[in-house]
């Protein structure tokens, strides 16, 4: 423990059975960074932590505004389905890095953070995005950037507004398919315009 820090109350161990929401403990699906140079940042994760490029794509917001994105997957990803979960299982989260043109949603966000950027959001995989939204709303844990979850085939996602406690956005993600969906990424980024 750090000198001068206050011990937190110990919570009971997390049970290894579904909660009242019918889900298991949330799993960290991906960490999303907004940066000044996505290629250099991606190279950093590849050299430093062994990540590999999964896919690259451009989000076009119109009027010359774009965001360039690279999704990276960790080296220890296990191919195929594991016996105890219904999706691909890996210990480390995927990493999503994006940069954006000047005046764009991502570009402005990075500029407002000293031109370096940082962690924009952390995405937790849940069994039901809708039920998790209901739970968080009923407990007053967060507001969301959209009234309802955003959906693509096999993929449901939503963003909270930035936490007053940690400064970052939390995403909930419900996956049937592996990877990202450009339409959802665009809609999620649009939902963060100005925040
Ligand atoms: Fe995300």
In-domain check, residue 7: no
Q: What's the total number of domains in the chain?
A: 1
How many angstroms does the Cα of residue 153 sit away from the middle of ligand 1? 16
How many angstroms does the Cα of residue 192 sit away from the middle of ligand 1? 12
In-domain check, residue 21: no
In-domain check, residue 157: yes
In-domain check, residue 9: no
Higher pLDDT, 52 or 2: 52
Q: For residue 175, give its domain range.
A: 27-74+92-191
Confidence of residue 75 (pLDDT cuts 50, 70, 90): confident
How many angstroms does the Cα of residue 33 sit away from the middle of ligand 1? 9
In-domain check, residue 16: no
How many angstroms does the Cα of residue 24 sit away from the middle of ligand 1? 20
pTM attached to this predicted model: 0.82
Q: List all residues 6 or more positions away from 19 whose beta carbon is below 8 Å from its beta carbon.
A: none
Q: What is the CATH number of the domain that holds 155?
A: 3.10.180.10
- Ligand 1 (single-atom ion) residues, CB below 5 Å: 32, 123, 171
In-domain check, residue 37: yes
Residue 76 is predicted with a pLDDT of 80
């Amino acid at each position: 423990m750090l000198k001068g820090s206050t011990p937190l109350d110990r919570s009971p161990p997390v049970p290894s059975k579904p909660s009242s929401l019918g889900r298991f403990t949330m799993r960290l699906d991906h960490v999303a960074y907004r940066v000044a140079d996505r290629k250099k940042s991606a190279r950093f994760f590849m050299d430093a932590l062994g990540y590999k490029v999964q896919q690259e794509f451009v989000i076009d917001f119109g009027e010359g505004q774009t965001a360039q994105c690279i999704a990276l997957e960790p080296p220890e990803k296990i191919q195929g389905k594991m016996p105890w979960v219904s999706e691909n299982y890996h210990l480390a989260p995927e990493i999503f890095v994006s940069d954006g043109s000047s005046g764009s949603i991502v570009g402005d966000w990075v500029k407002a953070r000293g031109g370096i950027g940082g962690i924009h959001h952390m995405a937790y995989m849940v069994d039901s995005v809708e039920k998790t939204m209901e739970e968080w709303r009923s407990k007053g844990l967060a507001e969301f950037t959209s009234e309802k979850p955003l959906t693509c085939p096999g993929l449901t996602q939503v963003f909270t507004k930035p936490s007053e406690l940690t400064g970052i956005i939390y995403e909930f993600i419900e996956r049937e398919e592996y990877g990202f969906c450009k339409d959802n990424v665009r809609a999620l980024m649009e939902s963060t315009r100005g925040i």
